[in-house]
Structure 1
Amino acid sequence: MSSPSYKEIWSEGLWHNNVVMSQMLALCPLLAVTTTASNGLGMGLASLVVMVVSNMLVSMIRGLITPQVRIPVFIVLIAAMVTMVDMFLNAWMHELYKVLGLFIPLIVTNCAILGRVESFASKQRVLPSMLDGFAMGVGFTWVLVLLGAMREFFGAGTLFADASLLLGNWASVIEMNIFPDYGGTLLLILPPGAFICLGLMLAGKRVLDRALEKRAEACAENKNEEGSLEGAV
């Protein structure tokens, strides 16, 4: 299997084949933990670490795994990584651990992670596999953070509340109480609000993709016209 370029890997993970915006995977943790941007960032970083290390390990041992047992082996490796991340958060970021709760162990069942391990890391070299895991993890993280920011901003009038629990005391500078007297919109904090905000994000991506496609087509037509004129001259 030919290896895609690093630019293609990065663009696929970040935008064109985004875990959520294109593949519609990992919706359970996405909708559950994004009540704030800080929670979304915490879940995104945890998933990113698991993706990168799982892709790396599978790529390293891909020649030793027989096709008959590859799925159980992949699941065991992912489960081991998730367990380590879960224990790390419990030990060093306990407040965030309590907020994310059950959704950290449930990373094991994230179809996006197993899917990338199966479709990419098991067929590619170590470095491209690690980059693929990183790109997919960053793509997943920015969606979590943006969705959490939208729900938090319109639902509670704050941004990155309790970020210091995740990043340390210095992160208190990014904690913003934008509308101190804002009563909040409960709908956006509840699960239906997550569906509404996600729908708006998906619609925005499609509009932007269509605009970019039209722009690319217009540029291609202009180049063809210029080439025809040069040929005529």
Structure 2
Amino acid sequence: MSKLNIILNGLINENPTFVLLLGMCPTLGTTASAMTGMSMGLATMCVLICSNCAVSSIKSIVPAKVRIPVYIVVIATFVTILQLVLKAYMPALDAALGIFIPLIVVNCILLGRAEAFASRNNVVDSILDGLGIGLGFSMALTMLGGLRELLGAGTVFGMMVYPDSFAPLVFVLAPGAFIVLGMMIALLNRIRKRC
């Protein structure tokens, strides 16, 4: 598989949100706005790239019996570093994402990519896989958050598109996340079948 195909695979064929339906907790919980969706996606992408690199680097010295706990410790280390950096330099973003930052540790996207790709490939390919999957996740969360924010608040990235008095509030609430995600998955499945 070429380097470009590794990246494109995470964006299109194995998009964690729209194709594999992984990581639904942060997908539904942090996408009330485009900014929080994008921020969560980028935070996850940083951890994914770093953990894929580390797992690929240590795969030959980790015994098979303890590989999953080791991968979780590696992921938890990078999540802790990310959380400390956010608390120190971006406290408003840390407050906006709240509990979802520590929950990156148990996000099945990260452990799945560590087990399915990073543990079987070289460091460069693992970094590119983390980049592709992370970009796909970030793109999905940003699109979902942008659409929910537009429909429910009349804004996109905080900029007013139409008055919020016309916006049905349901789209920025929990049920709106399910409705918009379902519509986006249906639309993308239809597009993929035609291509």
TM-score range, shorter chain: over 0.9
Give the number of the structure whose alpha-carbon radius of gyration is greater: 1
Instruction: Report the counterpart of residue 166 of structure 1 in structure 2.
Output: none
Q: Percent identity?
A: 44
Rounded Cα–Cα distance in structure 1 between residues aligned with 2:80 and 2:67: 20
Rounded Cα–Cα distance in structure 1 between residues aligned with 2:27 and 2:167: 21
Aligned counterparts, 1:73-222, within 5 A: 73-161=70-158, 176-180=159-163, 182-212=165-195
Instruction: Report the counterpart of residue 11 of structure 2 in structure 1.
Output: 14
The one-letter code matched in structure 2 to 1:105 is: P
- The answer to which structure, 1 or 2, has the higher relative contact order (CA under 8 A, 6+ apart) is 2
Rounded Cα–Cα distance in structure 1 between residues aligned with 2:19 and 2:91: 33
Q: Is the 8 A contact 2:13 2:19 kept in 1?
A: yes
Give how far 1:181 is off.
5.2
TM-score (norm 2): 0.97
Aligned counterparts, 1:9-48, within 5 A: 9-48=6-45
Instruction: Report the counterpart of residue 58 of structure 1 in structure 2.
Output: 55
Rounded Cα–Cα distance in structure 1 between residues aligned with 2:11 and 2:162: 32
Q: Is the 8 A contact 2:6 2:132 kept in 1?
A: yes
Number of positions where the alignment pairs a residue of Structure 1 with one of Structure 2? 195
Rounded Cα–Cα distance in structure 2 between residues aligned with 1:181 and 1:98: 24
Give how far 1:128 is off.
0.3
The one-letter code matched in structure 2 to 1:38 is: M
Give how far 1:8 is off.
2.4
Instruction: Report the counterpart of residue 219 of structure 1 in structure 2.
Output: none
Q: Which runs of 4+ in 1 moved over 6 A?
A: none
Give how far 1:144 is off.
0.2
Rounded Cα–Cα distance in structure 2 between residues aligned with 1:181 and 1:150: 14
The one-letter code matched in structure 2 to 1:104 is: I
Structure 1 unmatched runs, 5+: 162-175, 213-233
Give how far 1:183 is off.
4.7
Rounded Cα–Cα distance in structure 2 between residues aligned with 1:56 and 1:181: 44
Residues 181, 147 of structure 1: alpha-carbon distance in 2 compared, 3 angstrom cutoff:
closer
Q: CA RMSD in A?
A: 1.0
